[in-house]
Structure 1
Amino acid sequence: MASIRTYSLIYVALLLLGTAQFALFEIDLIEFGYWTALAGVLVFSVAKILLVAGYFQHLIEEPRAITYMMGTAVFMVFLLTVAAGFSIQ
């Protein structure tokens, strides 16, 4: 189990990533195009997902077989979503 220091660092990282996501679209100091900002938000979202799943849901301590199974499940959900998108068109 991780220490309180680790959880605090993860919390700060999540806070900074969330602030960066907001800043990409709302702060006009640096001009990002829509697609660049969207790509940045997606990258930050994946980083946040990995931090939450790894540390707060304790998946980082699980055996690798469970990690591969979860990765396969996420990939299958992605494929199902893509297939559903094609059937809607």
Structure 2
Amino acid sequence: MTSTRLYTAIYVVLFVLATAQVLIEQAGFLDEVYWTAFAAIMALSAVKALFVVGYYQHLKFEPRAVALVVFAGLLGALALTAAAAYSIL
């Protein structure tokens, strides 16, 4: 069974990554260097998603096929998000 210390550490990492995303947006990078800021936010989102599904949804301990199905869904969501962001411009 996973310890409370591990869940707390993962929570802190998720909090720091979310704060970094907000700082990228608040610093105005999305207005100046849009695609670089967009790529940074998407990369941070992917890392956060991997932490959430890996530990909070316990996919780390599931068979590999279940994790691949979830990963395919994540890629689909990222593709739709990128397409939506591209269509706004």
TM over 0.5: yes
1:57–1:21 distance in 2 versus 1, CA, 3 Å: same
Partners of 2:74 and 2:24 in 1: CA distance:
27
* Structure 2: gaps spanning 5 or more residues: 85-89
Shift of residue 66, structure 1, vs aligned partner:
1.6
Larger Rg: 1
1:51 maps onto 2:16 in alignment:
no
Q: Higher relative contact order at CA 8 Å, sep ≥6: structure 1 or structure 2?
A: 1
Query: Percent of pairs identical after alignment?
Result: 39
**Per the alignment, in what secondary structure is the counterpart of residue 2 of structure 1?**
coil
Q: Does 1:69 align with 2:66?
A: no
Tell me the C-alpha RMSD between the 2 structures: 2.4
How many Å separate the matches in 1 of 2:42 and 2:12? 19
- For residues 58 and 33 of structure 2, what CA distance do their matches in structure 1 show? 37
Equivalent residues, number: 77
2:10 counterpart of 1:26: no
